[in-house]
Amino acid sequence: MIVADIQKNSLKEQRLQFIRNHQQAFDVEPIYPLRLFEDFVMGVEGDCSIEASCKIELDKLIASRFMLFFKDKAQEWQKYLAQSLAFFRQVENRVGVQLDYSLLQGFLGDNFDFSKLEVLSAGIDLRTNLADSSVKMHIRIRDYPEKLATAFVLSDGAADSNYLSGFVNLIGFDLYFKGKSAIEIYAEIREDDFFKPETINQVWRHFPDSVLKPLQASDLFFTGLSKANNNPVLYYSLKNRQNLINYFKLNDTAQRVHSFYQHQDILPNMWVGTAQQELEKTRIENVRLYYYKYFGME
């Protein structure tokens, strides 16, 4: 029992170290509420993964972006949701921070069936201007058509349920500190379905080759649809992060981020998010890069 406790505490320290290494590498200032997020991460019992990401806009690097994924075998989703919401409410304790829960509450409703929940994550996307910062939550559901229908209604026309309902399982929520919120619908295609005739006819024929090429190194493809984004964001789950530079022509700022993570002890896979217009350029100037580390008892 004592050995197990020591191992648990060691894993918690490793979580914090992963977050701090990212902060140090990219000169992340300890802006509010980064320390509260660290406390939240340290307070989570059981296995988890942490995502550290950077958003690159030309030569501007936004690096105070982290998500925690609850990965414990117990799958106590109701408890994990309560922990996440408690963290959000802590964030609201500061004067000038007001979160709008209307979209999230509208989706969850009063009698959410947690047996239909597959993945839950919560995190932060922080900016030096407090009003532009947000807390985030992603919820992945399975065989829950009524909640899927609710998500499409809440998206207010950003995603077409007639066309996309068969492709959606993941819903994202951004709660900005200035009191507005956004919902993002993720339409997904798995590797097994990439080259099926129906996928080619329904999906890929709408895209140029520049969008299709990275599929060769991917096992999952998402299109993120939200009123908060002017253009849909295309997300690729690369099976091996070593393939990033083979399929994406990154600018120097993004190259610097990726160079750091090439030498870190993290999971081999990564996500890349960018717009179609960027993929058609000779160099990608606006991109999101996501890296992961798993923290679990052997």
Least confident of 2-11, 73-82, 182-191, 217-226: 2-11
Does residue 6 carry a pLDDT above 80? Answer: no
Q: Please compute the mean of the pLDDT values over residues 50-68 and round it to a whole number.
A: 97
In the predicted model, what is the mean pLDDT of residues 186-196?
Answer: 96
Q: Please state, in angstroms and rounded to a whole number, the distance separating the CA atoms of residues 79 and 98.
A: 24
In tens, the pLDDT along 212-230 reads: 999 999 999 999 999 888 8
pLDDT of 230 reads 80
Q: What is the pLDDT of residues 86-143, one digit of tens each?
A: 999 999 999 889 999 999 999 999 999 999 999 999 999 999 999 999 999 999 999 9
Q: Quick one: average pLDDT of 184-199?
A: 95
pLDDT confidence of residue 3? 58
pLDDT at 37 over 70: yes
Read off the pTM.
Answer: 0.95
| Residue 8 φ/ψ, nearest 5 degrees | -60, -45
Percentage of the chain lying above the pLDDT 70 cut: 98
Of the listed ranges 130-144, 158-172, 282-296, the least confidently predicted one is: 158-172
Q: How many CB atoms lie within 10 A of CB 266?
A: 18
Q: How confident is the model at residue 11 (pLDDT cuts 50, 70, 90)?
A: confident
DSSP output for 1-67: -HHHHHHHHHHHHHHHHHHHHHHHHTT----TTHHHHHHHHHH--S-EEEEEEEEEETTEEEEEEEE
